[in-house]
Amino acid sequence: MAFVELPEWAALAPVLILAGTALALFVFDSVNPHSTNRAVLAGTSAVGSLAALGVAVWFTAAGVGAPGMDGFGVIELFDGQIVVDQMALFFIIVVTVVTALVVVASYDYMEGHAYQAEYYSLVMLAATGMATMATANSLVTIFIALELASLPSYALVAILKDNRGSVEAGLKYFLLGALSSAIFVYGISLVYGATGFLQLDAIAAELEALAAGDGGDFGGLLGLGILMLIGGFAFKTASVPFHFWAPEAYEGAPAPISAFLSSASKAAGFVIAFRVFTTAFPVDVTGQLIGVDWTLAFVILAVVTMTVGNFAAATQENVKRMLAYSSIGHAGYVLIGLAGLGAGSELVMGAAMMHLLVYGFMNTGAFLFVGLAEHWGVGRTFEDYNGLSRQAPIACAALAVFMFSLAGVPPFGGFWSKYFLFTGALEAGLLVVAVALVVNSALSLYYYARLVKAVWIEDPIVERDGLTQPTGLYAAIVVAAVMTVVLLPGFGPIADAALEAAAVVIA
Amino acid sequence: MEGLFDYAPAIALFPLVAFVVALAFGNSLPKKGAIPGILATGGSLLLSIAMLAAVASGEVYHETLYEWAIGDAVSDTGVDGVEFTFGILIDPLSALMLVIVSLIAFLVHVFSLGYMNAEGETGLPRYYAGLGLFTFSMLAFVYADNLLMAFMFFELVGLCSFLLIGFWFRTRSAPSAAKKAFLVTRFGDYFFLIGVVAIAATFGTLQFAGDDSFVAAAETAIADGTTLFGFAPETWVTITGLLVLGGVVGKSAQFPLHTWLPDAMEGPTTVSALIHAATMVAAGVYLVARMFGYYALSPTALAIIAFVGGFTALFAATMGVVKDDIKQVLAYSTISQYGYMMLGLGVGGYVAGVFHLMNHAFFKALLFLGAGSVIVLMHHEQDMWKMGGLKEKAPVTYWTFLAGALALAGIIPFSGFWSKDEILYDALIVGLEEPIILAAYAMGLVAVFFTGFYTFRMVFLTFHGEPRSEAAEDPHPVGWSIKAPLIVLGVLALVAGVANLAPVAKLAQLDITFLESWLDGEFGAIEGLTYGAYGELLAYETSYIGTESTTVLIAAGVSLLLAFSGAGVAWTLYNVPEPVEHKERLGSIGKTVEDNYYQDEYQVWLAEGLTLPLSRAADRFDQTVVDGVVNGVSTASLFGSDRMKRLQTGIVTNYAALLVTGFIALLLVLGILGGWF
């Protein structure tokens, strides 16, 4: 059905477009280091990320990664180091959507900032890293992609060089990141030691061979390695106990970067976790070797993460910090996707993928609203937000949509994905997790509703003059809100896409 | 005739359009919305007549138009799904009722021109909008093809009556009466709703007609002896039937839920005519007729219907005797007459019940509109003791009102005689075998005497004698919009009995019982929904006093004798130039009757003395226990949240330590479980 026969490496087009955009911005920066032409810089980044998004959507629609007659099948590159399948494309879509929203919003947010080109090229580089994470199919490429995403992120968090909070947050993020990377790479070496392979399919094949044989003497070694890998993923997805960086980093970083890290980076962290644990470590075989079902680790992590995140969020006074903890809580919800893998149901992992997509819109939008508030300079606490709806009803309506969707109130997108997670958890027999999900969602409504109440119901504490309406931020917020709402009618196709992607990976 | 039924939805939709038009543009229209109402109901009337003709030529219509929900069902009868639909069922019964309803609605609209517009009322668009919605709801209820749709429009009918009874919302009494009507009927409707759910859950269908109707399913279940919800099938059918009957008792104002109806006289008289003759109150009895096949399966339910009907007929008739307000008398007569219909249906007299429903629609609409005319004549005075002598001054009103009164009292040859006699005859022949039915029959028979008495007391006090007030000496003139509907209905009250001259047919061996043939499906009907089919289901035995002819003669003679003696007593007491009140002679009984047997008082006591303390206790439970638990949970959560927050110290070495500690804890758990050490 293709008009022209594309070479195989063209399957990587979305990633290449992102990388090319980043390099083009570098060239621009070296030619004209002091340019503050925000329109060109933000515009280039937006075009680059939208182009990558368009290509990824086109590939999905054309059937790349889809099995069967009319699909192109899974495309493997570089001897299986890189793989382009439906799940990779799904997550590239999530990453590029968030990137586009973030760069458009940054146009206003980063106004008057000294390092424009650097900022945008770092964002694009991080996006490249995240997109590569979606396609990585070997522990080596995974580690490289992970670092490619992480290193720009550290710099981005600390990019407000005159702001003490930003620099401090960047440093803490970097220190904890270094520790976690060390654990992760140590885990890779242990797995390599136990199996002798780094490519994920090869690891699975070796494990099956071992299980069929005498099982080897490396059960404990392998188990420790797997657990350390989990540590690396937990860092990237801000899951307990590797979450400590998140509240500080999100609070200190520029708001668009907080949005970027909490949505795109988290999604990228999950995609490698999904891929590694579905491809390399089949539940039954691995369980036979290490003597324990690794989904148990995710069950524990899911329950603890959502509980810590939501409970810590409940009494925060600072809005950005509240969102940071809520982001941890949502990582806990998505972990259900991995916890439920033991039951072999694709529904629960598909549900986790859906949640990440919806989350990409609603959480990015919420952080961008905080960015808008910072742009206005109204303050950081709930009280400072009181009565904002009088001056900015549209943005506040969007905020209400984000908050209720995050809390999982029908009819917004967040309700549906959470509902699927809930039914998926029940189907997988994880009653405890399902109960924790419900209890935590109920608690989360409390603090989300508090914010809605502040902007819509409370009277302002101080008199404010009229507020500006920065185009870029407004556009990004409105698009995110609209998507959060229309994902409901669009949920059929999205659910199908996510379930299909999950099914292909699991099978 | 094939395509004609495609227009059936329009019968109900015309008045709905009139409702919207009156509501949206009423203020800028001439006559404030009356014209669209008249056109719409006129259109409905013409279409209904066309439907009647189509049914007469052997066609019937049963079609599901819209399916709005499908669900799984778990039932004892083996169905696995239940569908909730909107559909239309036009058979002899509903076609007849459609004509009656649209005719009365049309006449009420015309009459309103004289009663409301000419009297300079305000808020007329609201009034006409209410009438339109009321007519729409009733028509849709009449041709509903399933119980759930019927229930929905039944509720809508209740809502409309609330809106119209409370039309003069600035007075003190009208809003209170509207609320009372709404709440009392709603009390009955709770049972109806439970009944609908129970039937849907039991049989997985709510259709009235066809092989997949709940009636047919119940019949099969009884034949197979299937246990339903742990009950014998007959018992369960009785229980569900009685639950639905709760709604009927409320709407048709049967004892003990009749108390709303006299208060409902606070609405405009035209609304009373519509409520009593064709819509609200008729809806209850019509529902029993509609699902008569279901009740026919349960002799217990039928006997209860018959007994409640007979009791209500007598009970309400005695209260009508002592009222002074002309509309109050008519209100109690309505309760009493619907009691007769219930009695007729309860003894298996399906044709008799429907016959009386039809006749009553005509003569009660006539009497109410006549009363409305009297009220206009009397400058809005309703006390009969201030009237008198209107006979000469308003001949059209007098003669038509007299026709209605004769029909109501059951005087031969007016329509009411034929139907009431048929009900009593059916009750008598069953009663000879069943003592409880005989008791119901006896009450119905005694009520005939009271009916004759209060009817003619009303006629004599209003129209005869000398004028007893200035208004009565100089009445306000009435126009043609008032007179024309009266004449149409007056003629119908006189001749409608021809539809089913059962006694004549039985005595002279003539085949002139047209209504019976109509309802028996001789022209066309849906299988299972005919008089004959119901007759096969009925478990009643009948017998005669001597031969059939003697029984007919005895029944007719006795009831006619009682009607005449009631009228005669009224004649001697009140047909004098200066009538006086005779209530004192009744002593304490009279006082009790005048206070309506303290029905309102005990219902108020039930609300204030029983329900209120219970609600207070529930409220206290809610305030202390439920709220306490909820507040406790929230306090505990917030406390936990505070602790959780403190984990984040801001010192990065602490984080590293906690991170590693957490990791090691996880490692220990998994390692010990997996035996790695």
What's the gap between Cα A281 and its chain centre? 22
End-to-end CA distance of chain B: 90
pLDDT in tens, A334-384: 999 888 887 666 778 888 888 998 899 999 999 999 999 988 888 888 888
Of B644, B655, B661, the CB nearest to A311: B644
Question: Residue A366's closest CA among A390, A410, A325, A401?
Answer: A401
Question: Residue A380's closest CA among A207, A258, A218?
Answer: A258
pLDDT in tens, A209-240: 888 877 667 778 888 899 999 999 999 999 98
- Our CA dihedral for B617, B618, B622, B626, rounded to 10 degrees, sits at 110
CB B497 within 8 Å of CB B415: yes
> Tell me, what's the pLDDT at A148?
92
* Alpha-carbon distance values, B246 to B249, B476, B596 (Å): 5, 44, 22
d(CA B189, CA B246): 6
d(CA B223, CA B234): 10
What mean pLDDT is reported for chain A?
87
Q: Give A467's DSSP letter.
A: P
Tokens 């006591």 map to which residue?
Answer: B605
* Helix, strand, coil distribution of chain A in percent, nearest 5: 75, 5, 20
Question: Residue B572's closest CA among B473, B452, B467, B468?
Answer: B452
Residue A424's domain comprises: 303-507
d(CA B464, CA B470): 15
Give contacts of B660 with chain A, Cβ < 8 Å: 179
Q: Which residues contact A362 (CB under 8 A, 6 or more apart)?
A: A401, A402, A405, A406, A412, A413, A414, A480, A484
**In this structure, is residue A431 part of a structural domain?**
yes
Confidence at A270, pLDDT banded by 50, 70, 90: very high
Give contacts of A231 with chain B, Cβ < 8 Å: 663
**In this structure, is residue A13 part of a structural domain?**
no
**In this structure, is residue A434 part of a structural domain?**
yes
d(CA B420, CA B417): 5
Confidence at A134, pLDDT banded by 50, 70, 90: very high
d(CA B431, CA B349): 12
pLDDT in tens, A435-491: 999 989 988 998 899 899 998 988 888 777 778 888 888 899 999 999 888 876 676
Domain count, chain A: 1
Give contacts of A179 with chain B, Cβ < 8 Å: 656, 659-660
**In this structure, is residue A169 part of a structural domain?**
no
Compute mean pLDDT per 10 residues along chain B, 677 residues long, and list them. 77 90 82 85 92 86 82 68 85 90 91 79 85 92 89 90 88 88 89 90 83 84 80 87 90 86 86 86 90 88 91 89 86 91 89 90 90 85 81 85 90 87 88 87 91 90 83 79 88 86 81 83 79 81 82 88 89 80 73 76 82 91 88 84 80 88 90 80
Residues A296, B666: C-beta atoms closer than 8 Å: no
CB B188 within 8 Å of CB B63: no
Residues B655, A245: C-beta atoms closer than 8 Å: yes
Residues A220, B671: C-beta atoms closer than 8 Å: yes
Confidence at A3, pLDDT banded by 50, 70, 90: very low
Q: What does the radius of gyration of chain A's CA atoms come to, in whole angstroms?
A: 22
d(CA A30, CA A451): 43
Evaluate if residue A500 carries a pLDDT over 90.
no
Residues B641, A311: C-beta atoms closer than 8 Å: yes
CB B174 within 8 Å of CB B50: no
**In this structure, is residue A225 part of a structural domain?**
no
Residues B663, A241: C-beta atoms closer than 8 Å: yes
d(CA B299, CA A98): 71
d(CA A124, CA A107): 14
Helix (H, G, I), strand (E, B) or coil at B231: strand
Give contacts of B644 with chain A, Cβ < 8 Å: 308, 311-312
> Tell me, what's the pLDDT at B75?
64
Residues B641, A301: C-beta atoms closer than 8 Å: no
Give contacts of A294 with chain B, Cβ < 8 Å: 670
End-to-end CA distance of chain A: 26
What's the burial of A442, exposed, middle or buried (CB within 10 Å: 0-12/13-18/19+)? middle
Tokens standing for residue B207: 């259709």
CB B186 within 8 Å of CB B250: yes
Of B641, B662, B671, the CB nearest to A223: B671
CB B597 within 8 Å of CB B263: no
In three-state form (DSSP H/G/I as H, E/B as E, the rest C), the secondary structure along B390-452 is HHHHCHHHHHHHHHHHHHHHCCCCCHHHHHHHHHHHHHHHHHCCCHHHHHHHHHHHHHHHHHH
> Tell me, what's the pLDDT at A1?
43
Tokens 């400058």 map to which residue?
Answer: B379
Question: Residue B448's closest CA among B287, B543, B545, B562?
Answer: B562
Distance from CA of A7 to the nearest CA of B (A): 45
Other beta carbons within 10 Å of B588: 7
Report percent pLDDT > 90 for chain A.
39
Residues A291, B675: C-beta atoms closer than 8 Å: yes
**In this structure, is residue A221 part of a structural domain?**
no
**In this structure, is residue A283 part of a structural domain?**
no
E strand or H helix at B157: helix B147-165
Of A172, A227, A311, the CB nearest to B652: A172
A117 vs B119, which has greater pLDDT?
A: A117
Other beta carbons within 10 Å of A391: 17
> Tell me, what's the pLDDT at A78?
81
**In this structure, is residue A289 part of a structural domain?**
no
What's the gap between Cα B45 and its chain centre? 21
Residues A248, B650: C-beta atoms closer than 8 Å: yes
Mutate to test the interface with B, among A227, A299, A306 (most CBs of B within 10 A): A227
Instruction: Give the global pTM.
Output: 0.66
Mutate to test the interface with A, among B638, B641, B658, B668 (most CBs of A within 10 A): B641
Give contacts of B652 with chain A, Cβ < 8 Å: 171-172, 175-176
CB B454 within 8 Å of CB B325: no
CB B293 within 8 Å of CB B534: yes
Residues B674, A220: C-beta atoms closer than 8 Å: yes
What is the per-residue DSSP string for B58-88? T--EEEEEEEEEEEE---TT---EEEEEEEE
CB B135 within 8 Å of CB B10: no
Q: Assess whether the previous peptide bond of A241 is cis (omega < 30° from 0).
A: yes
Angle at Cα A392 formed by Cα A386 and Cα A396, nearest 5°?
65
pLDDT in tens, A52-80: 999 998 888 887 766 655 556 778 888 88
CB A259 within 8 Å of CB A329: no
